[in-house]
Structure 1
């Protein structure tokens, strides 16, 4: 019996089996070993880092690693399109390489890296293609097929342009269409190859929020992601590939260590926590900074953990640091002590008094550059901003609008606007390069 007429559409998967088990998989392409003895149980990996204990959702696993590490190759093995030289992949208890392509496609749906399409089909028709694994060539369209398509389009918010040509919509919209097509397959497992590639930040977040929602409903998702910070924020667990092997696997904090990043990417980086989300945050250092050859003194104004990353990055780059004024026990005070910064403190919950303000002013005066973090400002620490206003060279790190951080009313707004007029406003990723340029200017004066 041909595959088109084989009664495989009703083949059930084992809901109690592990979502994906990779057992000693090796792959060589063109005489080069791409994957070398890869073994991991995705369900065990997710369970080991589950913080909720609910067990109701699936697992979102990120594949990370340098170019050529084997991420895309591993995804091809997982969906059955590439047979390994040795080893096996079981999805929901079944070896995907023992199944027909249609049967494998009822277990695993794949969203490709590229969103470009060459055919001029309406969006709805593209999503309907996701039902192919469930239908024979001459089977009629069923209510179940239609329900699956409509639900997939609704879930991905593409219904409003369902009748438009897929070639006429934006890249971010096409990405959602391709995810909708995958959802229409109704598989327990979803694979995504660089789902945020070539998308702006808005569509990157929207795409990963969508996948995260699917995982919450029970789907197991495995995605190759090049942006380490997005991977750390959205993924339950990470698998770090390097030289065809698993260098590390587990929760983001374990995998994204500075040593692992050095070994995998041959790059120096500082790993900290994002002050807003609390996620692991990676900041790559330029090669010149990796050798700690930066010179100069930087004073950092922060509080509540907003300056911890800046302190670590600037310290790793070789700058002498001062910080404050900070309350004893504040997260940034602890971070400042860890990097050996000259620290000005006040008692817990106490405002910045005249003595502390004088101490801060002296450190700002001694610094080549003063950095003001994305700190929340109230009457108790407004003096820090007023002291920073006297800096010759000033950098403001902004991640949130000041209106969301200002608890000092008009006075706080007036001081901050004065800082903004005089300083360089940067995103966190720009901090090191801008401080370096300003510090060099100081030495040239």
Structure 2
């Protein structure tokens, strides 16, 4: 017996929620066009019972359209969709509504019924058209109101609650529907941060209770945090499919979103966080390699921007636990790391000097000069391409005296000092200047007009 065949279960204890048997979703070779516009092309997916799958992708990628195909609201031009082994497009509206509940992105309602009546509409697929609510129906409605923290709104007209409250009411309606599959289209779009988290925590509870959930989610970090699996859609096709860590990569985001971004694990949740940067339209060709000397958030930001742009980055010396070290580790950047409050060893200094010379371009990002790092000024003296990113005065970072101050001032004179947001433009500029200086012949070697 499939989920679509199950009735209201009048012999069930009304105080207890229905036991939902997880249902699978099978999408086979589905395509859909609106006129000449091809929206989805040959989509094939299998969503396992009890799985929480997030559809992510840029606007217009087909996320909402695919959800509507699964719900049965749209029929594909080709291919098929089965829920719990049943073709949803071969079912009546009432039968499909016992399989699949939907929380739409637009929760605007054109009537002024009380909130409790709106939630009770989720029970209509479980009873005949003109029958009254059963004890099961009333119990399901009260449970849904409690779970979504909307019980205090139950007697208020739906058009007198806020947009965020209305979103939770519509979620309560879907919960009261007690279907094995729930579809949500941007379920957190109109909610504040607290209610976003509350909503997705609740959805996770529903998954643990037996539901299969598919949601289109625009917030990539929330999707990574709560979904078991992500499906990245782009141009109407599946661009990537798998665990969040394998889908949310710098390369995938660049290809699908045209985004310059880095992906790092959150130190709190352990899930992926995405930091996107605006494209630096002033930047020309970028160097292959850049070495970063510095510490703290200034250096961490520089590392992230360079890595997101595809530049080969090395870092050091930097203390373990510093923000720059943590960022470098999360991005897999080559790092020369030292013990906190300890001077770099001779071997560590030699390694850094080698990296500076090999890179040819160096970024000083709040670089601290002390007795242990003063020797690194020697390879910097020989470096043609220098960029300085400073958030603190050099006087606060100089522990090596007047000579270090004089040399640092010379770096300022021949390098470029920019805010961290413009580091790509800066490394491009100093790299171009170096290339031009190397390709131009010395002035005294040019032929004079008299020769």
* TM-score, reference length from structure 1: 0.70
The alpha-carbon distance between structure 1 residues 298 and 141, as it changes in their structure 2 partners (threshold 3 A), is same
The answer to whether the 8 A contact 2:263-2:272 is kept is yes
Distance 1:291 1:25 in 2: 42
Per the TM alignment, residue 244 of structure 1 is displaced from its structure 2 partner at its CA by 1.3
User: Residue in 2 aligned with 1:20?
Assistant: 25
Q: Which has the larger radius of gyration?
A: 2
For residues 333 and 65 of structure 1, the distance between their equivalents in structure 2, rounded to whole angstroms, comes to 25
Matched, 1:107 2:107: no
The CA distance in 1 between the partners of 2:191 and 2:278, in whole Å, is: 25
* Contact 2:338 2:344 survives alignment (8 Å): no
127, 131, 139: which is aligned to 2:123? 131
Inter-partner Cα distance in structure 2 for 1:143 and 1:360: 77
Q: Deviations over 1:413-433 (max 9, x none)?
A: xxxxxxxxxxxxxxxxxxxx9
Q: CA deviation at 1:259?
A: 1.9
User: Relative to structure 1, is the Cα distance of residues 438 and 244 closer, same or farther in structure 2, using a 3 angstrom cutoff?
Assistant: closer
- Rounded Cα–Cα distance in structure 2 between residues aligned with 1:336 and 1:231: 20
| 1:435 aligned residue | 420
1:162 corresponding residue in structure 2: 154
Moved over 3 A (4+): 7-11, 14-18, 289-298, 307-323, 353-364, 366-372, 437-441
Structure 2 partner of 1:401: none
Does the CA-based 8 Å contact 2:43-2:238 persist in structure 1? yes
Going from structure 1 to structure 2, the CA distance change for 1:103 and 1:309 (only over 3 Å counts) comes to farther
Aligned mates of 1:15, 1:72 — CA distance in 2: 25
The DSSP-based 3-state class of the residue aligned with 1:288 is coil
Query: Are the structure 2 counterparts of residues 75 and 439 from structure 1 closer, same or farther at C-alpha, using a change threshold of 3 Å?
Result: closer
Give 1:325 shift. Answer: 1.6
Structure-2 residue corresponding to 1:335:
329
| Aligned equivalents of 1:230, 1:340: Cα separation in 2 | 29
What is the aligned partner in structure 1 of residue 357 from structure 2? none
Counterpart of 2:294 (choices 294, 299, 306) is 299
Q: Is contact 1:22–1:40 with CA below 8 Å preserved after alignment? A: yes
Note the C-alpha offset of 1:311.
3.6
1:197 counterpart (165, 177, 189): 189
Q: 15-24 or 175-184: which moved more? A: 15-24
The worse-fitting range, judged by mean Cα deviation, of 173-182 and 161-170 is 161-170
Matched pairs, number? 361
Taking structure 1 as reference, are residues 298 and 208 closer, same or farther at Cα in structure 2, changes over 3 Å only? Answer: farther
The answer on whether the counterparts of 1:90 and 1:96 sit within 8 Å (CA) in structure 2 is yes
Q: Distance in 2 between matches of 1:165 and 1:100?
A: 31
Question: CA 1:125–1:258 in structure 2 vs 1: closer, same or farther (change >3 Å)?
Answer: same
Is 2:105–2:184's contact at 8 Å kept on the other side of the alignment?
A: yes
Unaligned 5+ runs, structure 1:
1-6, 47-57, 373-386, 393-432
Q: 1:331 to 1:435 in 2, by over 3 A?
A: closer
- 1:390 — aligned with what? 396
Contact 1:120 1:167 in 2 (8 A): yes
Give the structure-2-normalised TM-score.
Answer: 0.69
- The verdict on how the C-alpha distance between 1:310 and 1:118 changes in structure 2, with shifts beyond 3 A counting, is farther
Q: Tell me if structure 1 keeps the 8 A contact 2:264–2:330.
A: no
1:117–1:300: structure 2 CA closer, same or farther, 3 Å change rule? farther
CA distance in 1, matches of 2:371, 2:209: 54
Residues 255-304 of structure 1: CA deviation (Å, up to 9, x unaligned): 112222222122222122112211112222321188675999662338xx
Alpha-carbon RMSD across the aligned residues, in angstroms, is 4.1
